[in-house]
Chain A
């Protein structure tokens, strides 16, 4: 059954020239700039959504040129003014704790707070992959990170907890082990009977074949002083002995937990020479009791009786070792996102990437109304040349769909970040809010300070109540025309000249920054 959807109107961007003039009058920062004033842009349609976009690099770091890619976000449902964002951002002072971006005013302003235990040699505190989530009920904050230091030939997973993200207290380590890739906790925290249940999706490369690597590290009472995480293998079907790094959980308050992943079937080409292609099934598994039973994640069966429903079979996509030389400088390796309707745990949405003959690297969005057993026969949305899908369903049952699409050719290529929302129960009418449209060719991913992934292997989005909150990374040129729904920069900038400025007013090179957004339908 299709969920009840509230009527919402499509956001219409303001004319760029009018916007630029307005920004030019108000956006030029000076070295002694006062606290930035949030300018919320109301869409042109009366009663349309309210869109907020904020560059979250603090003013005191106006001189930074770090590649702050692969962002993630958590919003405290108990206090939506409290928001945490993450990216590949090092501690600016060379300490031994990596930072979080913290807002306590709903995303208007941000502070960098270094409380994450992870540091490389030579005074560089940064995490590898990081994702984050708040408990829906306890105010506890959780993070899954690839931690440093790590063995030279291995990765190291830590699952962390904080009770106050604004304090200077180092996050507690709940679990710490090696051999794991891409821990993913966003969407993976529920609270049942007063206990936080934490589900961290990860690709456990330490597990021995023929067991496949798709894993959920789960703790059914993560608020306890002494926690225990179990590593549950969620794919019962042997493939190539390895699945993809995207293991995405989605929890519901009734205890239902879904997990989506790629089951790798075959690979061809060369990893070393950046020609590797993966053939895979897109699979969803489900546990109706929060993985508390003896046979976790076996409640959803495929047509052949095996656990896990294949939503798409035999899809193909590249698995790049680098984005250098690739379209938009971004490595590709598959993309998956899943979200469950908070008003109805039977309703879920799934997005995945596959290369299609006509549309290239393409995102597909589908829906299930029966707990993953059957899926819409056609895509709700098909987005060509797009990556980094994120899904969230709000309290009205409306699905939000975030992605980054590559447009144009050659030097005019741009990464365009879209937020789409279903407007009715037919799913034939979607809003389209462009959050950013920025150059894709600068800075160079293989230039000084550059690395893979260019803008990130994922983004983040959640819903709290009716609102959507998200974060994406993009070229930070302060050009109002790049942000059709307006933007606020905390860091010093000059919109008329489209330049970033340091604390002394000297020009700063363009880099990749994280951008927060919120949308009130």
Chain B
């Protein structure tokens, strides 16, 4: 029989399902058939109908045939996916002909907010952005090549990127995108802003947008951090001296995540998120 736990509402995989089998002796895992996916990373978005292995929390119990809403986080991917339960809410049992409820489950759990992983990511991105603007990339330039904003961009051949003293295949190869701002949705921005981004196609920068002239959409931007974030510097770590070109002073913002740029079709959704005060 299902026992009720207090699930973690931030669990990454939330689904309703039916217990196919529960491990005998100890009952630490259960095989559950997924019926409806309520929240999932992209890789599990289509998992309705499949079976997952649920590792139960201490004291959490499930029996064959139990139906519930499961809150879990994926931990292993093999023939099947194994998820660690953070708790489940038993489904309301159907009322029997005598007016009672099977399995004695008293009531359904609270309604589950159905959100995709992508929506959650976007919400986080909107919340964390210092500035959100709609606009168009009018130029991509080398760091400090300020003429671009005035329409005086030098040719690529004339431009001379700063040569790092030491070369790493993970060098970001910084570039700046000049954005003509059409509308500011969050924060404060002028009519033009400059965003630093890594041009490098190296794995380290795989998630960073590679802005192109003419690119139009919504930009979710973060204040440039010339100094590394405190949390990212290991204790006792010293910043590498001149290992790469110094960051440009002109750029006000930096873009390192693919979610920093959203197509224009998402503008209303983003504005709605901002109006909703989730940030």
Contact = CB atoms under 8 A, between A and B. Distances in A.
Chain A: number of interface residues, binned into ranges: 35 or more
A354 B18 CA distance: 60
B167 A319 contact: yes
Grouping DSSP codes into helix (H, G, I), strand (E, B) and loop, the B interface class, with mixed when no group exceeds half, is loop
Given A93-B44, A155-B168, A60 B80 contact: yes
Contacts of A178: 233-234, 237-240
A473 interface: no
Contacts of B81: 60
A150 interface: yes
Interface in B238-271: 238-241, 243-244, 247, 254, 256-259
For B41, B173, B204, the residue with the greatest tally of chain A CB atoms inside 10 Å of its CB is B204
B169 A452 contact: yes
A502 to B, nearest CB: 7
Interface string B43-84: 110110010000000000000000000000111111111001
A109 B46 CA distance: 23
B12 A94 contact: yes
10 contacts: A58-B79, A63-B43, A88-B203, A122-B259, A123-B117, A123-B124, A154-B228, A181-B170, A322-B200, A333-B169
A330 to B, nearest CB: 12
Nearest to B80: A60
A128 B79 contact: no
B201 interface: yes
Interface string B111-138: 0000001000100110000000000000
Nearest to B78: A111
Interface of A: 35, 58-61, 63-64, 69-70, 88, 92-95, 99, 109-114, 120-124, 128, 146, 149-156, 168, 176-179, 181, 203, 205-206, 208-209, 213, 241-242, 245, 267, 271-272, 276, 319, 321-322, 324, 331, 333, 445-446, 449-453, 457, 490, 502-504
Contact of B124 (A122, A149, A267, A272): A122
B216 interface: no
Contacts of A149: 229, 231-232
Nearest to A64: B43
Interface stretch (B91-99, B144-152, B158-166, B181-189): B158-166
B117 A154 contact: no
Contacts of A203: 168
A241 B259 CA distance: 38
B254 A152 contact: yes
Contacts of B173: 272, 321
A4 to B, nearest CB: 41
Contacts of A64: 43
Contacts of A63: 43, 46
Which of B74, B79, B235, B241: most chain A CB closer than 10 A? Answer: B79
A151 B233 contact: yes
B77 A112 contact: yes
Contacts of B241: 206, 208
Contact of B74 (A93, A271, A333): A93
Contacts of A245: 168-169
